Every structure is written in C-alpha cells, then in structure tokens.
Amino acid sequence: MYKINVFTAKRSLSWVQQLEKIKPTFCEFHYYAYTDNAHLHELLENHLDGGDGALFSGQIPYFFAKTYFQEVTVPMHYFDISERDFYRTVTELFYEKKIAMNRIAIDFCYEENGYLGIHEWSIGEKPYLFSQTMSEFASSDIIDKAAEWHIQLHNENKVDLSFTRIAEIRERLALQNIPFIAFYPSLYAMQLTLEHFVNQLQIRQLNQNKVVVVHILIPIDKSNLEDLEYRQIALYKAILDFKQLYACSFIVHREASFLAIITTYQQFLSTTDHYTHCQLVDFLNDRLSFPVKIGWGIGDSLIDSQEFAKKAATLCSSKETQGYIIENAREMGPLLYATKLQFDDEKQQYLKTLSTTYDIPLLQLQKIDAMLEKLTTTIVSGELLSTHLGITVRSANRILKQLHEKKLAHELPSNTSSTRGRPKKYYQITLTIKDLN
C-alpha cells in the first residue's frame, strides 16, 4: 500500500479530491489544504516525508516544496493541464464568443509543457504568456507577480480575457472586474499524472529492494600472520555492534580473509547518507586498531553485486579504513572517513549536469570540486589528487587522464630543469561544460 500525501490550495481541494474516483486499490491519499505560504510550509514540514510520495495541485506548491525542503527525497509530482483540456475549452470559447488568440493572457503555457502546442497553430496571433519557463514558479512572490501581470495587461487594454491555473489570484481578478477562465486538470489528465507517478513509486521500490553487497577486506600483514585471527574476530564483532546500534538489515557472512554483508539498496542509502558519507567507515575506523577495505557493490543481480563489491574493496587504500562504491560497473568513491560533502542547490545541479554530460560519476566530481575549493587552486598532480581523495596514484592518474580526454582538464608543460627521472604531470582542472565537437 502506497501512502501518498496530496498538498493543495484550499480553493482547489474540490477538484483534487476527484482522485478518489480513480484511486488504485494499493494507494491511499491524505489531503492537506493550505491557505497561504506559511500554512503550506507548516504542512510540508509535518507531512512531506511522511509517506511514499507527494502530489501537488499545481506548480506553485510543487516548487515551494522543492525550494524549501531540498533534503526530502520522496518522489514528488504535480497536476497540470493537458493539451486535451486546453483545446476543449479554447475551441468552445472561440466558437461561442469569437475571441482572438492575441487578446488572451495565459499563465500556464511554457517551454516544459510545449506551450500546449499554441505555437503550432496560432501563427501571427499569439497569446500573451506569463513566462517562457516553469522556473518562474519557484519565485517566492509568484502569486503577486502573476496577479499583477494579468491586471496590468487588462488595464493597458492589451487583452480581453485571462486564462489562469493559479487558484490564489482568482479573487483578485474578480475584484478588478477582469474576465477570466479558471483552468484545472480534467479527470483524464489527473489519471495520466497518477499513472506516471505510481510508475515512479514502483521503480523506486524496486531499486530500494535491490540487493547490495558489502565486501570488507582485512589487509594481510605477511610479517605477522598470527594477528589475522584476532583481526577477523574484532571485525566480526564490530560489524555485529554496528548492526545492532543502527538497527541495520544486514546479513553477515564470515570468511577467512574477508567479511561479506548482504543488504538492501534502501539500507545502503541510509548507511552512506545517499552516497555522501559512510557511517560504517566511521564506525570501523573508531572501533578497530587496524584499517579495513570496504567495497560496496550494486548491480542488477546478487552475482553482479558480489563482483562489484569485491572489485570496489581492492580499490581502497591499505593505509586507512576506506569505502568505495561500484554501481553497475561505474566507480564511485572513496567514501572518506569523517568527510561529508555538502553543496548548495545551484552547485549540486551544475555538477549533476556535468556528470550526465560527460558520463563521470557524480560523487567523483563532487570530491574533486571540494578538493579544489579546499586547496584554492585548480592545478594538481596525480600525487596530490591521490593524497586528498585517499586513492592510489594510479587511480588518480587515470581520473586525470579521463578529465583531460573530456576537456575538463588540460595538461600543463613539464618543467624538467630541476627534476631527475620522469617528470611529474600537472593538470589544470576546469569543471565547466564545453563543446565536445
């Protein structure tokens, strides 16, 4: 059973509750109607992450939640007008009242919904649009801006009619004697949104139930093999203590030179704070008098996850307790002891775009960016990268070579005048999106 919290302006509650007519048997809806932004903030604070997902009556509460509750990870979606809803109303309007398209103001057509197709047929007679992009709806004063926009267009006699999706401005328009049509999604459009949202919930549930394997290696000191048995016992006890302390859903399997843990993706996200900070690394580093290598493996099957975990463990340093992740053959890490990466929303979004554009793990870019900021320089060598990321020099050089190939770094001329042997390579890293052609 999915618990879905629905947040809506109080004026929109009546049509939003039509969800009950199309509700799947495995979903239950909890409705929260707000009167203003302060009330919305209170409702979101108390209920946003209390279910499996959240639906919103429109873009305004959706962007409000995205802006003020960035740490919440539950899936979110909003209801919008479909082209079918839009053109049914427009067709009836033109047929009955003969209103020209260029005398209409619309506040819900933008690039993200394809302008509802108006540019394909309204050649030469385009309506007035409030915004070209949905990002405008992230503004804290969006309601006032939209109301003033409609009122100004009518006062200047540029339009005869307003189309609005914003429930909060309807009374203002009525008080100004401005003719308007209030749009809201039809049951058909709500059905499409709900089906898409339920698919998101199901995919998320499958991912959370995905099997994750942790492979923990004990570095062997060949000069003191007798110490290995003690380390095995100490590691096993520490893992059981961690499992009990954090109530982890771990299945622990003990071998001669390593320890394996089988868990879920949801538990992995919790233990690694969504890929940013590993509680297990911290715990073992504090409890054990020797370092261990922690490899996380995430694949489409148990066998894949096991193989990825084994490889990830070998990538860790032998000098300190360290965690490394391999997810579907992509290397991410290491997860350093007592280190939690934090970025503002703008920086985070930019690094995500870089990651997608250049097919580089996001966590790797985050750590490189944090290192450059800490060092206050963009010029690094493989040795410097190795030291600050806690990886081998070989792995660091491989990362620099990859950045160089993707034009995110360029190699600087070597200075061999005062250096014997093979000169060090230095690179200047510039994490900016460039034209790859």
Q: Provide the whole-model pTM.
A: 0.58
Type of residue found at 238: A
Per-residue pLDDT of the chain (437 residues; tens, 9 = 90+): 899 999 999 999 999 999 999 999 999 999 999 999 999 999 999 999 999 999 999 999 999 999 899 888 899 999 998 888 888 888 877 777 677 888 999 999 988 888 888 877 655 678 999 988 888 887 888 999 999 999 999 999 999 999 999 999 999 999 999 999 999 999 999 999 999 999 999 888 877 778 999 999 988 766 666 788 888 899 999 999 999 999 998 999 988 778 999 999 989 988 988 887 789 999 999 999 999 999 999 998 899 999 999 999 988 877 788 888 998 888 776 666 555 556 566 777 888 888 888 888 777 888 888 788 877 889 998 888 887 776 778 888 888 998 999 899 999 876 544 445 556 788 999 987 654 44
CA-nearest of 44, 36, 29, 28 to 9 is 36
Residue 208: its H or E element: helix 187-208
Q: What's the token pair of residue 360?
A: 């580089």
- The residue written with tokens 């409702």 in the block is 43
Structural contact between residues 193 and 16, judged by C-beta atoms closer than 8 angstroms: no
DSSP string, 327-383: ETTEEEEEE-TT------HHHHHHHHHHHHHHT--HHHHHHHHHHHHHHT-SEEEHH
Quote the CA–CA distance of 130 and 143 in Å, as a whole number.
12
